[in-house]
Each structure stands twice: as structure tokens, then as C-alpha cells.
Amino acid sequence: MKRLKKFLNNLFKEDGFILVDANKIEHLIGAPIKNPPIKLKLLDKSLHYKLLILPDLYFGEAYTDGSAVIENGSLTDFLEIAMKNIRRGNTSNYAAVIKKLMGIFNYVTKFNFAKKSKSNVVHHYDISEKLYDLFLDKNRQYSCAYFKNENESIELAQKNKMNHIIKKLNLKPNLKVLDIGSGWGTLALEIAKQSQCEVLGITLSENQLEYSMKKAKELNLQNQVRFELVDYRQLNEKFDRVVSVGMLEHVGKKFYGSYFNAVSKFLNDDGVALIHTIGSVMTPRDPHPWISKYIFPGGYTPSLSELSKSIEKSNLIIADMEVLRVHYSHTLRNWKNRFLGKKQEVLKMFDERFFRMWEFYLAGCEMAFKWGDQVVFQFQLSKELLSTPNTRDYIY
């Protein structure tokens, strides 16, 4: 316990909390600002060393299982303090080494081939459509919104995001558009509504496919938009525009070359692609062990250096690039607040453990985008220098 206390006091230079160990002994960590201070109570003695060795994994597990309890505040309050102190660094030298070993093991043993990619998608996106309806906007957009100010509603911010992407695609009537990882079909349908383009959306989720086809029929757009259950590597068509929102995170770093080669193959010579993905502002590092284990198996958020090499090798040009900072933190804050407000509805579908797991997921990611290394990259790609206008006036 002495080592854990020393480790935490070295880590928490700004703000602090009261740690209550499994023997019910209180320890002052840092210099708490809040009065009364937040209390973190450990109910399992094994956490005395687990949190020292790999807090990135074991704290999330302890909160999920109920063996770490927070009093005088919320999980968000505690994670805010923690991430303000950790920021973009490692929690400990032990954790850095173990995460590196885990990352090497995952890289050597895990391959996101078509079958594996489909099972990874099913693990997260086919849980329950009723669950997503509790916290997403009415159009089920499950990706970073675009906040012109942080107090905008999630509905308006998601509409902003779609409009921003559509402007970057610079659409003209009768173009063929491919949406890779089309989700519940909202962007593909919005592109069709705003243009006279023909759109194909592809997904690996059967639930999302069924929902998308139903919405296209409801909106009388089934002659303009079609959806297919297919891996992008199995598609062999040409398009004038390619868009992909929130899908590249699931590709896996072994397959960036294959992914961008496919985008290049899909595009006509004067075509334009818009790739929207979570990324890291740091040099390449290993994925968060708790997120990989419980939320997004096979997921990885790339650094800019990892993506730029693959883009260059695929003979694509980065015609424009934008980094969306903090937008995803605002998005997650909205999702989290809605989720927490629907606790009784969640418990009718799942148990307390699931509720705490998803609270940790949403709150943890919110703070990672607020204080950590996570951002969103928007790449506008082309094959020719003059495929898009020479200024950004058409976007803004």
C-alpha cells in the first residue's frame, strides 16, 4: 500500500482525493480542491498492487465490478482530476512496459481480416438498438459531432458534422458516392437528400443494414441509396466520391495500406475522398488495454505519422486536412449525460455491471479527448491536384 500511495502522490500534482484502502485506512493523495474531497474506496486488497502495475486496465475493471467505489463525487469528477494530472503521459513505468508487451502480443497475434472484422463489429454495434436510442441523437449518429459552440444540442452538432463533410465532398449531380462503414445510414441518406447523387453504403452490421434499408424506404430514397453487408476489401466498383466516418479506427494498423489502396482503387481519377477518424496527437503507442478488452476489440487510434505513410504509398494526395480538437469530448459528454439519465431503462435491458462498464467507457473517453492525446482527423484525399477548388471558400 505504501508503494501505491507514493506512486499516486507523485502522479497527482494538481488537485487530489482521499484514498480509502481495502483495510479502511484513509490516505491523502495530492492536494484536494473540492470540499469535501472525492473519496476513492478500494474494496479488494489485490487492487493495492494491481493499480500500481497497470491502472489503465485494472481501475476500469474495478469500477465495473464494484470493487472501486467513488464517494463525494461522480466517476466523471474523479476521471477529470486523474486525466488533468496524467494528460498525455503514461500512468507509470510499469504500465508503459506492460502496455508495450500487450501491444506487441496483439500486433503479432491479431489480424482484422474480413471475418474477424465482422465479429468485432458485432461485439459492439449489434448489442441492442434500444440501447443506442437511449443516448444517441434521433438519427443514430455514433461518431464525433461538430460543435460551433460547446452548448449546442447534440442534434444540431451532428447536423453540423454532416453538412461540414458534405461540403468537403464538393458534390455535383449524378455522382456515384461510396460510404465505407455507413452505420445506421444517416450520412448516406443525407447525401442523397442534399444532392442528386447515387449512394452506396456498406456495413458489417446486420442490424445496421436492416435499419438503413428500412429508413431509405421510409424516406422514399431506395432508388437513389442502396446498402450492402460487405467488407470494403470485397468491393470492386468505381466511385466519384468516397466517404468514411468513424470506421478507420476498426481497420487495425496492419491494414492501413490495404485500406488506403482500396480507397485509391475505388476513386475515379478526378475523385475525392473524405476520411474522418479518431487519431492520436502523439507518436505511435499501444491501444488502451481496458477499451480493447471490453469495448472495441481490434480497435486502434492511429497517429498522423502512421496514416500519412500509407496514404502516400497508395498514390493519394492529402488535398486538405483538419484536426477536430475537443469536439468529441463535447459529443461524449452529451452521450454520457443521456445514458446516465436513462439508468432505469438500461437496467431493464442489462445489469448494474454493464451500466458501470458503459459509464466508464463514455466518461473515460470524454476525458481522453479533453485532457489526453485523442482528437479527430479529417483527411480530404484525391488523385489529382485540381480535383477540389484551390481555396476553402466552398466549405465555409
CA distance 247 to 231: 11
Active site residues: 365
Q: How far apart are CA 135 and CA 315, in angstroms?
A: 40
Phi, psi of 224 (to 5 degrees): -110, -30
